[in-house]
Amino acid sequence: MDATVASTLWLARDELQRLIDLLWDRQYRVIGPRIDSGAIVYDEVRHQDELPVGWTEQQEAAKYRLVRRDDGQRFGFNVGPHSWKRYLFPPRAVVGEATRGPQGWQLSDHPEEAPAYAFLGVRACELAAIAVQDRTLIHDQYSDPIYAERRRRALIVAVNCTQAASTCFCTSMNTGPRCTAGFDLALTELDDGYTVEVGSDRGAEIVAALALPSADAGSRRRADGRRAEAVNQIRKRLDTTDIRNLLMDNLEHPRWDEVAERCLSCTNCTMVCPTCFCSSVEEVSDLQGDHVQRVRQWDSCFSGEISYMNGSLVRGDIRSRYRQWLTHKLATWFDQFDTSGCVGCGRCITWCPVGIDLTEEVAAIRETPP
Amino acid sequence: MESRPTLAVFKFASCDGCQLTLLSLEDDLLALASRLHVAHFLEATSRIEPGPYDIALVEGSVSTPRDIERIRQIRRDSRYLITIGACATAGGIQALRNWADSEEYLRAVYARPEYIETLATSTAIADHVTVDFELRGCPIDKRQLLDVIGSLLAGRRPRIPNHEVCLDCKRKGTVCVMVAHGTPCLGPVTHSGCDALCPAHDRGCYGCFGPSRQPNLVSLSDQLRRDGMPPREIVQAFRGINAYSPEFRGEGDRLEAESDRSDEADRSGEADRSGEAGRSGEADR
Amino acid sequence: MNRDDLNRDVTNADDSHRDDVQGGVTTRSIRVENLTRVEGEGGLDIRLRSGALDDVKLNIFESPRFFEAMLRGRPLEETPDITARICGICPVAYQMSSVHALERALGVDAGEEIRRLRRLLYCAEWIESHALHVHLLHAPDFLGYPGSLEMSRDLPEEVTRGLQIRKAGNALLELIGGRAVHPINVAVGGFYKAPGRETLRRLVPDLQAGLRLAIDATRWVAGFDFPDFEQTYDTVCLVHPDEYPMCEGRIEASDGLSITSDEFESVFVERQVEHSTAMQSIRSDTGATYLLGPLARINGCRDRLMPAARRLADEIGLQTPCRNPYQMIVARSLEIVHAYEESLQIIAGYHQPKPSRVEYRPHAAAGSAVTEAPRGMLYHRYRIDEGGAIGEANIIPPTSQNQSQIERDLRSFLPGILEMDDDELAKRCEKLVRCYDPCISCSTHFLKVRIDRGG
Amino acid sequence: MNAPQSAAIAANPWLSQTARIERITPEVDLVKTYHLRFTDPQVQANYRVAAGQFNMLYVPGVGEIAIGVSSDLQATEPRERTWDHTIRLAGHVTGALSEMEPGEVIGIRGPYGTTWPLDEQHGKDVLLVAGGTGLASLRSALYELLANRERYGRLTLVYGSRTPETLLYQGEYAAWAERGLKVHRIVDQATAGWKGQVGVVPRLIDGLRTLDPSNTVMLCCGPEVMMDYAVRSVVARGMREDQVWVSLERNMQCAVGLCGHCLLGPEFICRDGPVYRFDRVARYLKVESL
Ligand SMILES: Cc1cc2nc3c(=O)[nH]c(=O)nc-3n(C[C@H](O)[C@H](O)[C@H](O)COP(=O)(O)OP(=O)(O)OC[C@H]3O[C@@H](n4cnc5c(N)ncnc54)[C@H](O)[C@@H]3O)c2cc1C
Ligand code: SF4
Ligand code: SF4
Ligand code: SF4
């Protein structure tokens, strides 16, 4: 059939491999969910069997466990410790080079041949996260060139959630669980196959190449049912009413002291968060010092060094760092980028080694105005 | 006289691993040797020159009365004194003796303890003389060592990141062993430098780079306890390679005192309820 | 004389002599500081009375580190991490002896794949440790340089080759162990995470290049000028029917002794001597010293070297049993070649062990093991208590076993060179000691040569 | 196609130009002015900067730092001009710079940030308040005011420093005064020969006799505490916070709003600042460790 944006097609269960093959054939590096070291991470996928077939995860604050499902779903889980940020905004990238010559220093950028990624299995909250990063890293005047180019080339095959983890709160953030925009294709997994929604011309072109039939009404209904299950399972809430002012009016709330007693300032929450974007540049030179690379690495408002100035730290204690993180994420992000910095994926809750839950922190501040 | 800065390497109680790192610079070793004049490095050369030295790298901990004299002399002889490794910066694994009866220790190891002259303690170099820079690790990291030497050669104070192991771990994309496997890990309170090796090998960090800049040890202990680790084992986790660093020492001692108190309470509780049946000994473990 | 004087001596020999006349016998003391280019620091004490050799002692002024005591009460899983810290040059050896002894105690069989991966890791350490000694520490003795950094000015290619040989070994150590010094990947039962097959294969080109360099370097080393100095040795090493000795086998001596590690302590006794904090070993049955290390292994197991190493041994005309300690550098070089070859062989047939470590249930038990550290047989024995903590540990490193042998060599060496001046004499003694690649770090602190010359 | 497009995607914001150190003027102890010229004549000719903006100066292998431009931008044609940076030795990068000689090449990118709002102040009295090296960031503004002297009312500089010896640009004060700027100085610690005031900057402000609160604007640069007290002083004299501009400082890695280092509440100081009308940032400056 002639697929156009917004049409819904059908991909039989084992045809997924054809999609994967086609993407590789078109020189995409296909990245998708795989099991590694006891978690579902994002890595190269060449074969549909490498996906976490029949696995799911149990998540709660400071706890993540893989568990078996009783069916053969490939996408029967939510989000793991990785996010696509790892690929679009790599944790380590060379942003410039300097070489000492007879005329003194020669400076050059280090243009990368941006890889063309095809992301397989992007969730609704992750689509939202990518949209947030578009705003934080691409601007009219200055953009992150690495992000921008990788992003431009990336193809996105989203997957609708059919279940929710106890840490998910996308419904509070209006980011999910349904994939509504920002994808080239969006799948909903059923036992015998996938309904495929087309989100872009690029997506349409791919389904055309695969010659997918359109999805029948029954499959569509079943897909609706599956997606509704995800909505029903979401328990966690973050009350976002006037959240910007709530936080900014409570910068001296005693709750910051309490959370500082527990927070390790270990940076885990910011590393797993799909929207956090702080980075630092490190000079890496050979011993002679004649050749230098400027390496940009992920950094975090929880690292002390980030606020180093004039011999001391502006945010010298854990309290001020946690406050910086939460107020930036949930409040000042609105001032800067006209959006929340949080998409409700819940990663920071699961992967905080001491189980600090931002929704509880906000609720505590809301409950007890000073 | 040569104009290249002079380098001297000294060893105290240690395993040699950190100075070996210098010899393991491989590609950079000869380059380094051309920029520095190696004036004293027993492991590498028989040519031994008297001080003063521009840069002294000191490995090992102070554990005999003679060590104290030696380190003072080295301090007098050296412009920059850089300590390398957990032994030199925190007393090393051998600082475990600081909690033990060293007489008994001697008997455990040596058949004839009377021959051995030893301090009851193993302590960091900085406990005895002023140290210009401490490079952490058991062993130290090659790149960091190069960085330190490079900075000194350029006349700058070395600057080594002092965040937690977690930051490196997540940059690498390693799955958190604590959250995903329930494996106790000191990464959240340990100084960076190893590029988060242990979690990348599916095991918890045992703190060989010592405490990070502002470790929240109490919170980590609480979490480990919540995860089911008995307090006595947490104490031992802190009393490892960097046992005698002030931070790990403090938290280990605090927890130990706490569990001593609760054992005490348990015992008196037990006495009170001596008539009670069926109480399992499990809680004491 | 103050042995603490760190910075005074520019040469290895002390400039001052001391003449004492006591009861008609003249004792002349000459102090030589700093025996160098050995791992760790210690000293050598030579006393001459009325022109004749009176006593030779290898002095090891170690700051004791009490590893056996520290291990008591620690969970047994920590043992390989703790014992590694005994020595930064050969941590894998300590880890290997630890895990083998503990697994024997617990009745754990790690299985074939893990066994091979351990051998691979051990090969990497042999390369690293041997190449360090051959190229950076020992070769300068034969070519007249105070050290390899100085040697590199005249012989840059040879030194670079040595560094390259070592580098591939270090790369292998890092790949399997996580890092070259104090690897973090060795566990009781196996490895925390076993490297993938492809990851290991990526090293093959470097290892092949390393092998070629190691073969060249062995030819070069074999061409050194070796002093004529033949000794009789009772050599001891592990012997395995099919493989070059490493982790398994019986302990066999050249005089026919053959025992298991459980019998070790009844045959090899450790005694502490007054001048040293390290222990010395002799055989209780013969009362004699014995020799460990590369020469012992080559003498005993030359036919189990890998083919290229075996051919190379023939090509360079190595006579075995070899009784010249100066030729230990040749044995060491051949073992580098062997280790490279065996590494390539293991990688070629490698399958990632799954799981990477076998489960075990800690219980009260005891066990011992001997493995072949680069410097020779390394003995560990443990008693585990019910809770899985270490109740008792006994560790006997190769250098302390070789120590008495070194002294014996010196005793037969010295009479021939007493005519030499102190400087030269000290240098000669130091060179002989260096042949053994003594790893004083395993136990020690500060090495210096002191000569007491009578009349 | 989902990806947003932007005209600037291709440009690498990290890429610096090279500039040669033409001259180095030692100012006071630990402070020197580096007169830079781009090595590429085209870049040199096209470069434009306004008073209050800063550049990122890059010493390869050491690091990159934010430094305000302190040139007299009125003086000469851009082609001949040098871009001047007055720098206090503080640590790594500034230390490396202090070891450099004229002729050496460093990296420079910019200009970045907001400017002192001089055009909007025509007809007003302008009070410049500086502490320590902060005067460097006001120097360009000062010369611009003097060049257009007739457009402004009273021009006053209140400048405080640790000691008389560390007062910057001492050789220029006479000329400034001649051109119609009243210069008041104060030092924390007097040394021999100092006849002027001793104390802190706000004290000088309190002592200003001719402050017309309704028609004055204050431009202020110096340590945050000093600025805080300076504002309190003028507010006490009847000025409003929206008559005050301050220049703020934070660690900066990218200078273009991408790295997250310089955040102060909602502000990216590199992009939204460094020069702020005080009322915009007042509430954030009051919060400790924000
Ligand atoms: C907008 C702006 C304008 C400035 N103008 C001037 C000026 O005209 N003259 C002047 O002497 N100084 C100025 N500074 C301060 C100057 O940037 C710092 O003194 C300098 O970064 C110190 O670098 P360092 O490497 O020598 O110090 P280190 O102490 O070694 O600092 C290490 C790194 O931390 C960061 N850092 C440390 N202190 C500061 C700081 N105060 N501000 C920003 N980043 C810092 C830098 O990245 C620096 O490389 C300005 C700062 C800003 C933000
Ligand atoms: S703040 Fe937490 S829940 Fe929100 S997007 Fe980031 S990781 Fe997800
Ligand atoms: S909130 Fe949790 S994850 Fe984030 S820095 Fe604190 S302890 Fe680490
Ligand atoms: S993870 Fe921890 S124990 Fe492991 S190497 Fe790094 S600092 Fe050492």
Per-residue pLDDT tens digits for B212-242: 999 999 999 999 999 999 999 999 999 999 9
Burial of A176 per CB tally in 10 Å (0-12, 13-18, 19+): buried
Cβ-nearest to C12 among B46, B102, B203: B46
Q: How confident is the model at residue D1 (pLDDT cuts 50, 70, 90)?
A: very low
C441: confidence class by pLDDT, cuts 50, 70, 90: low
To the nearest whole number, what is the mean pLDDT of chain D? Answer: 90
Collapsed DSSP state (helix, strand, coil) of residue A57: strand
Centroid of ligand 4 to alpha carbon of B199 (angstroms): 8
Predicted confidence (pLDDT) at residue B34 exceeds the cutoff of 50:
yes
Over residues D252-277, mean pLDDT: 94
- Residue at A205: amino acid letter: E
Q: 3-state DSSP: chain A helix, strand, coil percent, rounded to 5?
A: 35, 25, 40
- D54 phi and psi, to 5 degrees? -135, 165
In order of A118, A121, A158, C312, the CA distances from A24 in angstroms are 9, 16, 17, 49
Instruction: Judge: D96–B157 Cβ closer than 8 Å, yes or no.
Output: no
Per residue in C75-90, pLDDT (tens digit) is 999 999 999 999 999 9
- pLDDT tops 90 at residue B127: yes
Residue C383 and residue C390 in contact, taking contact as beta carbons nearer than 8 Å: yes
User: Which of D144, D222, D230, D229 shows the shortest CA–CA distance to D181?
Assistant: D144
- The residue ranking higher by pLDDT, D119 or C453, is D119
Q: How confident is residue B46, by pLDDT bands cut at 50, 70 and 90? A: confident
Chain C hits for B239, CB-CB cut-off 8 Å, are none
Task: Inform me whether the pLDDT recorded for C7 exceeds 50.
Answer: no
Q: Which residue, by CA, sits nearest to atom 21 of ligand 1? A: D65
Distance from CA of B167 to the nearest CA of A (A): 6
* CA nearest neighbour of D9 among A294, A111, A340: A111
Question: Does the distance separating the beta carbons of D99 and B156 come in below 8 Å?
Answer: no
pLDDT at residue C453, rounded to an integer: 53
Task: Give the tens place of pLDDT for each residue, A64-103.
Answer: 999 999 999 999 999 999 999 999 999 999 999 999 988 8
CA of D264 to the centre of ligand 3 (A): 21
pLDDT at C444: 38
Protein residue whose Cα sits closest to atom 50 of ligand 1:
D67
Other chains touching D, judged by 3 or more CB pairs under 8 Å = A, B
Q: Residues lining ligand 4, judged by CB closer than 6 Å?
A: B 165, 190, 194, 196-198, 205-209; C 184
Q: What is the pLDDT of residues A17-65, one digit of tens each?
A: 999 999 999 999 999 999 999 999 999 999 999 999 999 999 999 999 9
Report the C-alpha gap between C160 and C154 in whole angstroms. 12
**pLDDT tens digits for range D131-161:** 999 999 999 999 999 999 999 999 999 999 9
Give the pLDDT confidence score for residue B3 in this predicted structure: 78
* Burial category of D195 from C-beta neighbours within 10 Å (exposed 0-12, middle 13-18, buried 19 and up): exposed
State how far the Cα of C281 lies from the Cα of C279, in Å rounded to an integer.
7
pLDDT of residue C200: 95
Report the distance separating Cα D201 and Cα A259, nearest Å: 39
Q: How far does the CA of residue D92 sit from the closest CA of chain B (Å)? A: 6
For residue C235, give Cα distances in angstroms to B123, C301, C325, C375: 40, 11, 12, 13
The phi, psi pair for A329, rounded to 5°, reads -60, -45
**What is the structure's pLDDT at A285?**
83
Q: Do chains C and B touch (3 or more CB pairs under 8 A)?
A: yes
pLDDT tens digit string along C317-327? 999 899 999 99
Please give the Cα distance from A262 to A260 (Å, whole number): 5
Of C131 and D194, the structure prediction assigns the larger pLDDT to: C131
* Least distant ligand from the CA of B203: 4
C-alpha span between B190 and B177 (Å, rounded): 15
Diameter over CA atoms, chain C: 75
φ/ψ bin of C385: left (φ > 0), alpha (ψ from -120 to 50), beta (otherwise) = beta
State how far the Cα of B32 lies from the Cα of B52, in Å rounded to an integer: 20
Q: Do C180 and B115 touch (CB under 8 A)?
A: no
Confidence of residue C40 (pLDDT cuts 50, 70, 90): low
Q: Could you tell me if residue B43 is left (phi over 0), alpha (psi between -120 and 50 degrees) or otherwise beta?
A: alpha
| Residues A239, A241, A246: CA angle, nearest 5 degrees | 100
CA angle C86, C88, C90 (to 5 degrees): 85
Rounded CA separation A358/B254 (Å) = 30
**pLDDT at residue C420, rounded to an integer:** 84
Is pLDDT larger for residue D230 or for residue C13? D230
CB proximity A289 to D under 8 Å: yes
DSSP state of C291: B
Return the minimum-mean-pLDDT range out of A108-122, C200-214, C297-311.
A108-122
Q: What contacts 24+ positions apart, CB below 8 Å, involve A31-35?
A: A31/A84, A31/A87, A31/A117, A31/A118, A31/A119, A31/A120, A32/A119, A32/A120, A32/A121, A33/A75, A33/A77, A33/A80, A33/A120, A33/A121, A35/A66
- CB B253: neighbour CB atoms within 10 A? 14
Judged on CB neighbours under 10 Å (0-12, 13-18, 19+), B190 is buried
pLDDT confidence band for C55 (50 / 70 / 90): confident
How far, in Å, CA of A267 to CA of A270, rounded? 5
The CB density around residue C444, as the number of other CB atoms within 10 Å, is 32
Respond yes or no on whether the N-terminal peptide bond of residue C156 is cis (omega within 30° of 0).
no
What's the pLDDT band for C61 if we cut at 50, 70, 90? low
- What is the tens place of the pLDDT at every residue in D204-228? 888 888 888 899 999 999 999 999 9
C-alpha distance from residue A292 to each of A15, A98, A130, A158 (Å) = 48, 5, 32, 40
C87 lies within 8 A of chain B by CB: yes
Q: Are strands C449-452 and C43-49 parallel, antiparallel or unpaired?
A: parallel
Q: What are phi and psi of A238, to 5 degrees?
A: -125, 115
Other residues' Cβ atoms within 10 Å of the Cβ of residue B233: 15
Helix (H) / strand (E) element for B84: namely: strand B78-84
Closest CA of chain B from C10, distance in Å: 5
Least Cα distance to A195 among A172, A216, A225 occurs for: A216
Pairing of strands D216-221, D197-198: unpaired
pLDDT tens, residue by residue, C181-190: 999 999 999 9
Cα distances (Å, whole numbers) of residue A48 to A17, A43, A75, A78: 6, 13, 11, 18
Give the span between the Cα atoms of C275 and C404, in whole angstroms.
13
Phi and psi at B245, nearest 5°, equal -65, 145
| Residue among D27, D55, D65 whose CB has most ligand 1 atoms within 8 A, to mutate | D65
